[in-house]
Structure 1
Amino acid sequence: NIDELKPSTTIKEKVEALEEKGNTTMLVRRNNTYIGIIALMDTPRKEARSTLVKLKKLGIKRMIMITGDNQKVADAVALEIGITDAWGSLLPEQKVEAIKKLKEAETKVAMVGDGVNDAPAMAHSTVGIAMGAASSAVALETADIALMGNTLDALPFAIGLSRMTRRIIKQNVFISLGVVALLIPATIFGFANMAVAVVFHEGSTLVVVLNALRLLRYKK
């Protein structure tokens, strides 16, 4: 704690100035003399801002950064990447509480993380997403989705692909049940014989397979 170390007013002002810019600071002291300040800054991923833009285009309106870094650091990073909500100074259990509150307000919440500290919160989210090889083993085990890569731009791709998958599943269920619903009464009332019914049924199976293969053409 800075106050316990009793640095001079000048040092305090320098520390505050560095923290205002988003740095995490450490004081270096030799015996009773302060000899320096070490300032560290988390730099956002290069693709962070463009990824957020893509997510907004996909209809995701609210994005929040939750972090264990102090609030000033969180605000500085959030400002740089274009996030309006940044919750800093959160311990792992506080991240869990944050996710619970968001679920009460938003119903469905996805969390992207890569560290051990993120795993408990990911477990309480609707969908937990781990950042591939960069993630800890605990985060990968907890996550519902593991992105195969260390870049955030895989996230919009994963969301878009999952939405297309859901649409195709619904289409295939409709096709399958629709064909069966038509063939059963048609066969019972003599509008189609068994051979015709089998041909149409197998044909609908082929249509379902071909429709599902459209997922292979999905691109970023």
Structure 2
Amino acid sequence: MARMKFLCDAERCIECNGCVTACKQEHEVPWGVNRRRVVTINDGVPGERSISVACMHCSDAPCMAVCPVDCFYRTDEGVVLHDKDLCIGCGYCFYACPFGAPQFPQAGAFGMRGKMDKCTFCAGGPDKDGSEAEFKKYGRNRLAEGKLPACAEMCSTKALLGGDGDIVANIYRQRVLTRGKGAEVWGWGTAYGPGQQQGAPARQGS
């Protein structure tokens, strides 16, 4: 059975926020809730890097450990989901999650902010797959349709990878092995042949 995981390649992320937009569009996420966000460190200075962050669907999820009503559960594919019918909006998961994944649609004291919302890996929720009730509470169930998360599919540079953890790890491992340094960080020589400079067109017949 596949174990679904996300991985973001910081060397490829260009902070376009396409993943954020794709998620909100696909699931009609309410205003004020961001299931996915892009975080940038060293903004505007050498060493700047961006990374797309959402629920990482941890194998040992801290949100599951602290929830007093046990609204979290893990699917056979390793996706961590929650039952909004059980959620009491206490906010424990919000403080326990190191990625800031749990979101609340309203401001105010916990318990009055409404039901918690988070990334579902496009796997819906406990309601019937593809049902109107499922979409209204959790968004579209793309995994049931045989598709991958919309954020990963819409990433223009393929920095954000989502799917079977073993396959994702192999893709990233291969990138690291073929990735160069400096001007070669994007694998220019690998793509266009040795001796080619970035920005210089390859000669015909070379």
Structure 1 length as normaliser, TM-score?
0.26
Larger helix percent: 1
- Higher RCO structure (Cα 8 Å, ≥6 apart): 2
Structure 2 length as normaliser, TM-score?
0.27
